[in-house]
Amino acid sequence: MYAQLVKSEGMKSPEEMSPEERAFQERVDRNEKIEPKEWMPDGYRKTLIRQIGQHAHSEIVGQLPEGNWITRAPTLERKAILLAKVQDEAGHGLYLYSAAETLGVTRDELTEKLLSGNMKYSSIFNYPTLTWADMGAVGWLVDGAAIMNQVPLQRTSYGPYSRAMIRICKEESFHQRQGYAIMMKMAKGTPEQKEMAQDALNRFWFPALMMFGPSDKDSVHSAQSMAWKIKMNTNDELRQKFVDETVPQAEYLGLTVPDETLSWNEEKGGYDFAEPDWSEFFEVIKGNGPCNEERLGARRDAWEKGAWFREGLTAYADKAAARRANALVAAE
């Protein structure tokens, strides 16, 4: 798999590295954690800000498709569970924004980049959630794909990111389980409920596969990110793992994965499966998915309506800092 990766732009061989860069690479190779105040190549910092920032935005935007169903959850218990899950996602966003801030970027800067379209969030959240069964499919498939990607990231080389991932993964496991529990209820329910579960699987299967990013031959960052252990696996490796784990779960539910080409390949010890429609993926990440406008509109609205609150907080912080400075001057 690794051999198929395209060389990332600006990636240096050991001979091309400066002594500082080589020493840094050796630390990464020894699995030492890199901490915020330590020297790091500019590209490492930039890649981390991009990936962690995008990840943080995904957690925050990811609240929207499920938040949409909180008021319509079928029982009090389901409502409480969904509410807790959506609140967890807000927490994940906050840990990740904090991790990104340790690299010298502010949360305001990251948000402005998101709102101006200069920073991405996960493609998956640009698809609508049309029925209650989608809450099951999102938890099962979307959080399932997120865990597949995030468990290895607990070992990522950047200390604050790695520690944030440990906490996040614990909560993501609960999210995946609650989704699967909804799917079980629906798939074993009335024929109409089973049909809703199947329909949700049909709509979310390929978008979930897209979450892992483009195929390795089109992944521009993987080679460098893996050398720096910002990523621990290639996009295709994780996608394969996800399919291998998820297909038996669909079978247990009595549902059909919407891929006629799906078949077990004894030789590779995994499933052969159809690739997602990559032209759709690239359109979605360019901003042309079914819900891009709505999702960014909601974030923009929240940002604008929250301005008075942020200003209030900063005004207090500024006044407190001025008071402390005055007290120091007075004491001298």
The residues of the shown chain that bind ligand 3HC, judged by CB under 6 A, are 50-51, 54-55, 58-59, 62, 89, 120, 122-123, 142-143, 146, 149, 210-214, 219-222, 225, 231, 235, 285
Helices 159-187 & 235-253 angle (0-180, nearest 10)? 20
Write phi, then psi, for 117 (nearest 5 degrees).
80, 10
Closest to ligand 3HC by CB, 194 vs 298, is 298
- Least distance (Å) between residue 325 CB and ligand 3HC: 40
Question: Whole-angstrom distance between the N-terminal and C-terminal Cα of the chain?
Answer: 65
Closest to ligand 3HC by CB, 151 vs 250, is 151
Closest to ligand 3HC by CB, 24 vs 95, is 95
Contacts of residue 117, Cβ cutoff 8 Å, sequence gap at least 6: 287, 296
- Least distance (Å) between residue 215 CB and ligand 3HC: 9
Closest to ligand 3HC by CB, 101 vs 143, is 143
- Least distance (Å) between residue 54 CB and ligand 3HC: 5
Whether the CB-CB separation of 213 and 124 falls below 8 Å is answered with no
- Least distance (Å) between residue 133 CB and ligand 3HC: 17
CB-neighbour burial class of residue 23 (10 A; exposed 0-12, middle 13-18, buried 19+): exposed
Closest to ligand 3HC by CB, 46 vs 194, is 46
Q: What residue spans of the chain are helical by DSSP H? A: 19-29, 42-61, 63-67, 76-101, 107-115, 133-137, 143-153, 159-187, 191-210, 222-227, 235-253, 278-283, 292-305, 307-331
- Least distance (Å) between residue 213 CB and ligand 3HC: 3
Closest to ligand 3HC by CB, 146 vs 253, is 146
- Least distance (Å) between residue 3 CB and ligand 3HC: 16
- Least distance (Å) between residue 116 CB and ligand 3HC: 13
3-state helix/strand/coil string of 23-46: HHHHHHHCCCCECCCCCCCHHHHH
The whole-angstrom separation of Cα 70 and Cα 43 is 41
Short-list 137, 146, 141, CA closest to 96:
146
b/e code 135-154 from CB counts within 10 Å (16+ = b): bbbbbbbbbbbbbbbbbbbb
Closest to ligand 3HC by CB, 163 vs 194, is 163
Which H or E element spans position 264?
strand 263-265
- Least distance (Å) between residue 42 CB and ligand 3HC: 16
Closest to ligand 3HC by CB, 63 vs 194, is 63
